[in-house]
């Protein structure tokens, strides 16, 4: 049973396209996150979200938007994709959105923009 799952695992697309990455967690957590890992393995928080609050990293372009249909899902929509968006995107979840709790990560989605 996969705790945090993401689809697709690989995504190759052209510049300018709009794409979505889906994330689901079955842990009953109430907070979910999106991270971007660049080619140098640097992992950076993009968003954290629970049913009360969306916290956005101010450096994330507004072409990126998280959408949560329910507590178990947090999808990432990206508009007008750019070459620099190529990276591995990780979804994660935790209990109560509190940094005292460990985060559980999905397997990642490798996005390649051509």
Partner 1 sequence: SQQGEEDPQALSIQEGENATMNCSYKTSINNLQWYRQNSGRGLVHLILIRSNEREKHSGRLRVTLDTSKKSSSLLITASRAADTASYFCATDARGGGSQGNLIFGKGTKLSVKP
Residues near partner 1 (CB under 8 A): 4, 33, 35, 40-45, 48, 55, 57, 90, 92, 97-100, 102-108
**14 versus 39: smaller Cβ distance to partner 1:** 39
**78 versus 97: smaller Cβ distance to partner 1:** 97
Nearest distance from C-beta of residue 110 to partner 1, angstroms: 9
d(CA 22, CA 67): 9
Q: Burial-class residue 56 by CB neighbours within 10 Å (0-12, 13-18, 19+).
A: middle
Nearest distance from C-beta of residue 53 to partner 1, angstroms: 9
**48 versus 75: smaller Cβ distance to partner 1:** 48
Beta 43-50 vs 109-113: how paired, if at all?
unpaired
d(CA 49, CA 78): 17
Tokens of 46: 């993009």
The residue assigned the tokens 């996969």 is 2
Nearest distance from C-beta of residue 65 to partner 1, angstroms: 18
């Amino acid at each position: 049973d996969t705790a945090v799952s993401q689809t697709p695992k690989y995504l190759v697309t052209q510049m300018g396209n709009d794409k979505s990455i889906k994330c689901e967690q079955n842990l009953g957590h109430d907070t979910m996150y999106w991270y971007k890992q660049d080619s140098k393995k640097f992992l950076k928080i993009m968003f954290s979200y629970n049913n009360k609050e969306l916290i956005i990293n101010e450096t994330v372009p507004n072409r990126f938007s998280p959408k949560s249909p329910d507590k178990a899902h947090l999808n990432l929509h990206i508009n007008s994709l750019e070459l620099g968006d190529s990276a591995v995107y990780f979804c994660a979840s935790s209990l109560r959105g509190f940094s005292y709790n460990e985060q559980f990560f999905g397997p990642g989605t490798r996005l390649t923009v051509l």
